[in-house]
Amino acid sequence: MENRTELDSLGEFELINHLTQYFVPQHETTLKGVGDDAAVLATGGSTDQVVTTDLLLEGVHFDLMYTPLKHLGYKAIAVNVSDICAMNATPKYVTVSFAVSNRFSLEAIEELYAGMQIACEKYGVDLIGGDTSTALHGMTLSITAIGEVYPEKVSYRSGAKLNDLLVVTGDLGAAYLGLQVLEREKEVYKATPSIQPELIGYDYVLQRQLKPEARVDAIQFLDDLKVTPTAMIDISDGLSSEIMHLCTQSELGCDLYEAKIPVSPDVQRVAEEFHLDATTCALNGGEDYELLFTISQSDYEKIKGSPHFTVIGHMTEKVSGPRIITRGNEAIALRAQGWNAFNA
C-alpha cells in the first residue's frame, strides 16, 4: 500500500522546506530565495530588489459574510506590503491576480479594486499588472509585492546575535479579538437574521482585523534613528510563532517577558468579555502585521524614547530555547500555537 503523508502533519513552513530542499539558486543575483518574508535579488545598482507573494482564499483567509470587499482589497495589499517592510525595505510595486465565480458582478470587483487603490496610494506603490480567471467557487486573490532596499540595510530572519534586544512595534492581540467579535455576530445572524449585529464599542479590534496597516512608518522611524535591525519578521501568524522563526533561523534562544508584551486597553476589555487571556491573544492570535525585530544593545539608547517601539526580551544561547518569563518570574518554554494554513 502506498504511503500517504497528510499535509497538516508538516505544517506550512515544514512543507515549504520539504518541497524546496533540492532547489539550488542558479544565478548569482539570487541573494536570498525561499525562507524569509521575501526574496532578495541583486540588481547591479545601488539597491537590491525584494519580492514577496501571498495567496488569499475565500473561506480560508477571509469570510465575505462580514468582510466588505473594499476592506478586503485594502487588506490584500497591506499584508503583502508588510512582508516587504519585514525586510527593512521600501515597497514600490504590486501585481494582482484573481479568480472569481459568476457569483461576483463587475460592481463587486470594482469595489475590491477601490480598496486596493486606496492602499496603493497610502503606501506609495504602483499596481503594474496581474491576471484574471474564472473559478468554480468563490474568490481567490494572489498578490505579489516588489520593493527595494540598500544592501547594507536588509534584515533577514537569520541575523540576530546573542544578547540582541527583541523589539516589537505597536500593540498585539487586537486583530484576533476583532475576528472573535465578527464570528460571534455571524453566528447570531445565522440563528436570527432579523437581529442587527452589535458592533458598537469594538471599533479598534474590528479595524485591526478588517483593515490592518503595514508598518511602512516604522521602517522610516528606524531609518531616521539610524537603527538597522539585525533580524526582522512581520507578525502575521502570532508573536510566539514569529519569535520561534527568528530563534530557529538565527540559531539562538530568547527570553520574552510577559509583562513587556504591549496590549491595548481595548484588547484587555474585549478579551475579558470573551473569557480569554489577553497575553494568550497577543502570543497566538496573529494578523496584527506589526514588526518584530532584534537590535544590538548599543542601539537601545536610540529607540528607548520612541512611542513606536517596545523592548519585550532579548536573545539567549540556543540551548535555552525560546522561553516566556511570566509575571511570576517563571521561565516556560514558548510554544507556537498561531495560524497554520493546513490545520486551521
pLDDT tens readout for residues 180-230: 999 999 999 999 999 888 899 999 999 999 999 999 999 999 999 999 999
Q: Using one digit for the tens of pLDDT, what is the confidence trace for 277-317?
A: 999 999 999 999 999 999 999 999 999 989 999 999 999 99
Which residue type does 331 have? A
Dihedral of CA 203/208/212/215: which sign?
positive
Q: Which of 82, 85, 201, 86 is nearest to 143 (CA)?
A: 82
The rounded distance, in Å, linking the Cα atoms of 225 and 99 is: 43
Q: Using one digit for the tens of pLDDT, what is the confidence trace for 24-60?
A: 888 999 999 888 899 999 999 999 999 999 999 999 9
The rounded distance, in Å, linking the Cα atoms of 198 and 95 is: 37
Query: Given this model, what pLDDT does residue 21 score?
Result: 83
Average pLDDT over residues 79-96: 98
Task: Report residue 156's pLDDT band, with 50, 70 and 90 as the boundaries.
Answer: very high
Which residue type does 227 have? V
Average pLDDT over residues 122-140: 97
Give this prediction's pTM: 0.93
Average pLDDT over residues 160-181: 98
Task: Report residue 10's pLDDT band, with 50, 70 and 90 as the boundaries.
Answer: confident
Tell me the average pLDDT of the chain.
94
- C-alpha cell read off for 287: 494578523
Domains of the chain: 7-153 (3.30.1330.10), 165-333 (3.90.650.10)
Average pLDDT over residues 59-80: 97
Is pLDDT above 90 for 2? Answer: no
- C-alpha cell read off for 315: 536573545
Average pLDDT over residues 2-9: 81
CB 49 within 8 A of CB 89: no
The rounded distance, in Å, linking the Cα atoms of 182 and 168 is: 26
Task: Report residue 341's pLDDT band, with 50, 70 and 90 as the boundaries.
Answer: very low
Is pLDDT above 70 for 339? Answer: no
Query: Given this model, what pLDDT does residue 111 score?
Result: 98
CB 215 within 8 A of CB 170: yes
The rounded distance, in Å, linking the Cα atoms of 244 and 43 is: 31
Rg over alpha carbons for the chain, rounded to the nearest Å, is: 20
Query: Given this model, what pLDDT does residue 337 score?
Result: 66
